[in-house]
Chains A and B, each alone.
Chain A
Amino acid sequence: MFLKHAQVAPTMVSRLLAAAEAAARAVPPAFPLDATVAVNPFLGQTGEDLAMASARLSRVAGAALTAPRAELVARVRAGTITDDDLAAALIASPSPLKPRDLAEFKARMHAPAPAPQALPTLAELAANATGTDWPAVIARSFGLWAAGHFDRGQALWTPRPGQGAFAAWRDWASHDLTPEIAGLRGFCAHVAEAPDTPERAVLRAAERLGIGPEAAETAFHRLLVDIGGWAMHARWILWQAELTGGSDTTLTDLLAIRLVWEEALLAHAPTAAGDWQAVVAAHTAPLAPTPDQVLDAILQEAAERAHQRGLDALLTGPAEAKARPVLQATFCIDVRSEVFRRALEAQDGRIETMGFAGFFGLPLAHRAPGSDTAEAHLPALLNPALTSAPDLSPAVEADLRIAARARRAWGRFRQAAVSSFAFVEAAGPLYGGKLVKDALGLGAKGLAPEPAPRIEGGLTAAQKVQTAAAVLRAMSMTEGHARLVLLIGHGAQVTNNPHESAYHCGACCGQTGEVSARLLALLLNDAETRAGLPAEGIALPVDTLFVAGLHDTVTDEITLYPDTPEPDHAKDLAQARTWLAAAARTARAERAPRLPGASPADLIRRATDWAEVRPEWGLAGCAAFIAAPRRATAGRDLKGRAFLHDYDWQKDQGFATLELILTAPVVVASWISLQYYGSTVAPQVFGGGNKLIHNVVGGIGVVEGNGGLLRAGLPLQTINDGEHAAHDPLRLSVLVEAPAEAIAAVLEKHPSVRALFDNGWLHLFALKGGQIAARYRPGLTWEDMGKATRKAA
């Protein structure tokens, strides 16, 4: 169909559309806030290194991708970054533009870093030419349309469903008079006459704007950055479609929309044409980092090496092995578990804790009580394979559903046009009581436990055994079980916080870990499971009981769910509760000083306060991922900054578990760490903005103030206490206790994971005997770091 186009040659067509596709894939997905997970904002740049990605995002977004130079130089002055760190980072840099030696490096780093400047859009050039703030007009008009188009139920009157974004926008924009009132005369007609498919619109605009295939990728990327979180939301739609084998064109639609605007503005402000040609020429120039970007990347690496020195000093070898522990507790690998695990282990020498991804290996979609929709409870990289539901009778379910529908009908009564007046007169005065209740923090519902879950359709005995054995192996929990084993997921009790799901379990796709933990406990206590496990080579003691729990990461309280009745363990459970309560107090005492103005008791209030914008620090501070037996880290204060995954390579046949760890939890951890990194170093592009003026839009995200651009990423308040950053932007250091060759073999098999390490988005170390033995270098090679080598040197 493109061949009919008179002016654009076929090869040109395919190259331009390929550039549009590449620009789309350069944008990271943003998950809707009702079930959000952290996403690596540089997902589209993992094939490049930090300096190159800096060059790209400087051009398209005006963003720097490294911590501010002045801050890092201050650390050099203070001695937290040493000359050795600087020298090592300098040597490691592959760039030909790097300083020749340490002296030049140190001389140059004192010069201020040039502020990155994005290439302007035509809208910006037209604004300069005409004096009208076209970028703001676009943000307002486009934002209003997008808010309605992507709305999931906020407005009662949404646009006609089932239309593609481009067609829907054409309908909208050919009626919307705002641009014409702002002075863009004829815009409605321009839209009405625009090509009828997004591809044609992209091609026509590229032709009119003189964007050739060489300029197209970053020119298009520039426009997608310009529409902020809306593009990221569209990228998420594509992500979800591809996860289930489908595809989606919303992102191309948005690019086409933005290009139709550029066309119109070029026609409106012809005097901008000269400047625009220069911009296109700049887009055509191949991307290359500047010497400053290379220098900043090296400085960034030096900061990370300084942190790694600290880890190296802490990891001095494993603690002693224990006899059969009296209590085992498996927590999520989440960095917030580290503080609690340390506190719990300190209660008694016979307590052992383990770390595993908080979905406990069960690929679940769970249907909440009274709900028709099943929500994913597993890492965003995976597809659910099991469906679970509350274990309720159909009559109780039906009642819950009727109650929910009646609430919804009342909500529509409150929202609808004429009835909103009746609502206010009938119910308004009652809100006085609600105000008092909420002002005093008495209205919070908390993390109310659900009825016990069950797998829909049930599992056969063989499936139970198979699933249980697979999970136990992945957890490296095939022997040495205590009488009582706790499986503890986590969630955060927050009130009135649009970003609530971001505080929940990332491995459970932004839900709490309650359902996963309870289902696994039920599965492992199941008689059929226990009967079949010995055949799998896993012998669980008869007296071992699994009990699920949920760690509230705001209050550090742990709720246990004794779903399997077991009177023999009453004493063990009572003792466990005592220890958990004591550990909670210790953990609160450790966490409180980090939160501004908080006392340990105050943490509980934060959970129920509807005005609290910093209920906890989430995963702020995360910097390391350690996959090793707990003995390697036990007793060491990792300050809640490390993901801890239990892994014993000697029990790992064929390194299947190693492969799983490197391709799933490590990738999820990298997404989290890089989200914090991106939101900290480039808040304007990858940050969620200011919570104080957040305006929830469409049930999917937030805009700041009146509207306009969707803001994805972490809000300012979640990474900053008002004065200081609460997160130190460091790329994650992954430490794995396994033979280096085995690790390399896994990377070789998974190029996309390897790219993360080869391009420096993650650091990788091999541990041996609980100590750092080697540092991974790009190209599947290792740099020996064994203590013996270093002493000799």
Chain B
Amino acid sequence: MPDLALSALAPLPLMAAALPFLARPGRRPGALPRLAEGATLAALALAAGSLGQLLMMGPQVLDLGGTALMRLDAVSVTMALLVAFVGWVVTRYARRYLDGEAREGAFHALTLAAVAAVLVLVQAASLPVMIAAFVATGLILRQLLLFYPERAEARRAAAKFIRVWGAGDLALVAAALLFWQGLGTVDLAALNAAATLPLSAQTGIALVVLAAALKCASFPVHGWLTEVMEAPTPVSALLHAGIINSGGVLLISLAGLAQSSPGAMAALVMIGGFTALFGALVMLTQSAVKTALAWSTVAQMGFMLLQCGLGLWALALLHIVAHSLYKAHAFLSSGGAVQAVNAIRKPGPVAVPGLGAVLRSFGLALLLYGAVAAGFTALVGEKSAQALALGAILIFGVSYLIAQGLADAAPGALTRRTLTASLAAALAYFGFQVVAQAVWGPSLPAAPESGALEWALIVLALLSFGLAAFAQALFPLWAHHPATAGLRVHLANGLYLNALLDRVIGGFRSPSRS
């Protein structure tokens, strides 16, 4: 069959390798873990093969009796490669890490199944397939979260997760029904091409946004993501680098549809932007490394939703890829945090930039931005207002790096190094963005024309991120002021939304009585 993408077959070796574990779910199941790693490599090879198919044949859809099942396009190949790659890293890691665990075999089987389900999810060509993959992913992940079922904390985390995840699935089912009713199709390609949207479809889009927000652990339902360190480290890596992206994939797969609803886009900007800032602030207060990483994921997923809301789909996909790779590594190497913290203390006190240095750093950063943006515009052409705004937000972040080098107490050599690093960072992300636009841009809608609503959102985002960046650069000057002590307590507790959720689902009850 010429239209069968190899990556659509990628889940098969994984499932095949998972099966023998049914017979050996316990400790040290012989060569099976090696086989599991081999299966992930096979999946990776299939995904790579489908990249060749895409280059040769262009996008494809596999359908069965008129229902689209799996697709082959730039987005699906990218995600399949990413998921298979992370799957390989995680499986290889788990092969050593889980050695000797009482339920070692079961762990490998569940991991393989989870990777397989996510592989289906990211390549689904229609909502029913996607929903089935979502449900399967949720059920498998729940089992992984309950790897130590005797831990009450693990049971609580799993209970939260499955409720939020399940709510997202329900929203998606409802959305699919509404699309079927209003547009007569649930194929992603057909949905993206829909010209006019009846009210039912508009409602469906709202439900899709809701589902994405739930799956991405957006404010205020982020609580489930920050407690899943109850499972062994490879599960965290897989979750934060693979599964958590599914909300973003959902949106990007329905980009055309979502973009036809300005309300949905505005909602995404607001939910995503707020979650990004909220998660990033909470992250600052977390002293446990995995917990801080989890809050960072909340923030990064929020930022990705913001990019979706601005219509910067290719950049959102870039963010998914970049964040997954970074976060998988960060979780798997989190055992090094003792050394890392020790190393921070060694070279003496941190040079604190004053107000003047911070202002200079912002000025320098904007100059840098102007130069780099002008350069890239000259090279690859005009950028949309949204893209320029996003670049400004990112450059606000870089200003912090510059500010550290401009602090009065910083020696000249340090200033030079941080400036070089800042320039490298700016060039790197603009470079990656150009690549992202070139690779994925053609298959995704362009950012919408900026009307009044769009402009309002852009200004709002710029102002809030700019303010946060400014506050961050001045951070040491106010963080320990007694006036901010209460704020720190509330933020460290994630504004108590998790505690409230616990109260609702009975997470505070004694285990014996629940």
Contact = CB atoms under 8 A, between A and B. Distances in A.
Interface stretch (A128-136, A240-248, A344-352, A570-578): A128-136
A537 interface: no
Nearest to A705: B230
B475 interface: yes
A315 to B, nearest CB: 35
Given A33-B338, A405-B414, A413-B397, A428 B326 contact: yes
Nearest to A428: B322
A707 B475 contact: no
A596 B100 contact: yes
A152 B345 CA distance: 8
A406 B421 contact: yes
A411 interface: yes
B85 interface: yes
Interface stretch (A81-89, A171-179, A545-553): A171-179
B227 A706 contact: yes
Interface in A100-148: 127-128, 131-133, 136-137, 144, 147-148
Given A182-B499, A409-B404, A424-B323, A611 B94 contact: yes
A425 B493 contact: no
A290 interface: no
Query: Which of A144, A373, A405, A694 gathers the greatest number of chain B CB atoms within 10 Å?
Result: A405
B257 to A, nearest CB: 26
A420 B101 contact: no
Given A154-B337, A182-B508, A706 B284 contact: no
B289 A697 contact: yes
Contacts of B432: 425-426, 429
Contacts of A497: 335
A340 B54 CA distance: 58
B99 interface: yes
A696 B486 contact: no
B280 A417 contact: yes
Interface stretch (A386-394, A434-442, A556-564): A434-442
A34 B325 contact: no
A359 interface: no
Contacts of A210: none
Contact of A148 (B88, B232, B492): B492
B332 A611 contact: yes
Interface string B8-49: 000000000000000000011000000000000000000000
A698 B289 CA distance: 8
Nearest to B276: A421
Contacts of B341: 34, 152-154, 696, 698-699
A415 B340 CA distance: 13
Contacts of A370: 346-347
Nearest to B148: A693
A418 B28 contact: no
Given A404-B346, A416-B400, A706 B230 contact: yes
A128 B512 CA distance: 9
A177 B338 CA distance: 30
Contacts, number: 375
Given A423-B425, A706-B157, A706-B227, A131 B475 contact: no
Interface size class for chain A? 35 or more
A704 B398 CA distance: 35
Given A127-B510, A171-B485, A425 B496 contact: no
B287 A428 contact: no
Contact of A498 (B277, B287, B338): B338
B229 A706 contact: yes
A692 interface: yes
A37 to B, nearest CB: 14
A418 B395 CA distance: 9
Contact of B472 (A372, A416, A424, A428): A416
Given A409-B418, A424-B326, A496-B336, A695 B290 contact: yes
Interface in B331-370: 332-348, 350-351
B319 A425 contact: yes
Given A500-B339, A611-B97, A428 B289 contact: no
Interface stretch (B64-72, B111-119, B247-255, B292-300): B292-300
A15 interface: no
Given A401-B347, A412-B400, A181 B479 contact: no
A137 B485 contact: no
Interface string B185-203: 0000000000000000000
B338 A422 contact: no
A264 interface: no
A708 B230 CA distance: 12
Given A177-B493, A409-B418, A154 B400 contact: no
Nearest to B348: A372
Interface stretch (A157-165, A297-305, A527-535, A640-648): A157-165
A14 interface: no
Contacts of A697: 287-289
B478 to A, nearest CB: 10
Given A418-B469, A418-B472, A419-B400, A137 B508 contact: yes
Contacts of B152: 133, 136
Contacts of A178: 493, 496, 499
Interface string A6-26: 000000000000000000000
Contacts of B491: 157
Contacts of B277: 417-418
Interface in B385-416: 393-398, 400-401, 404-405, 410-411, 413-414
Contacts of B299: 417, 420-421
A387 B480 CA distance: 34
Interface string A696-719: 111110011111100000000100
A420 B97 contact: no
A430 B232 CA distance: 25
B28 A373 contact: no
B100 A435 contact: no
A429 B287 contact: no
Contacts of A220: none
A288 interface: no
Contacts of B286: 154-155
A369 B414 CA distance: 17
Contacts of B405: 409
A697 to B, nearest CB: 4
A425 B332 contact: no
B489 A435 contact: no
Contacts of B480: 158-161
B211 interface: no
Contacts of B283: 415, 417, 420
B179 interface: no
Nearest to A410: B421
A520 B394 CA distance: 53
A422 B425 contact: yes
Contacts of A419: 396-398, 400-401, 469, 472
Contacts of A703: 288
B509 A159 contact: no
B371 interface: no
A310 interface: no
A654 interface: no
A612 interface: yes
A723 interface: yes
A210 to B, nearest CB: 24
A722 interface: yes
8 contacts: A151-B287, A154-B289, A160-B481, A181-B500, A372-B346, A409-B405, A416-B397, A695-B288
Interface of A: 33-34, 127-128, 131-133, 136-137, 144, 147-148, 151-161, 171-172, 175-178, 181-183, 368, 370-373, 398-399, 401-413, 415-432, 434-436, 438-439, 496-498, 500-501, 596-597, 609-614, 690, 692-700, 703-708, 717, 720-723
Those 3 A-B pairs whose CB atoms lie nearest each other, nearest first? A722-B100, A428-B322, A699-B341
Given A147-B288, A419-B472, A428-B326, 6 more contacts: A409-B421, A422-B425, A426-B432, A435-B332, A611-B92, A692-B233
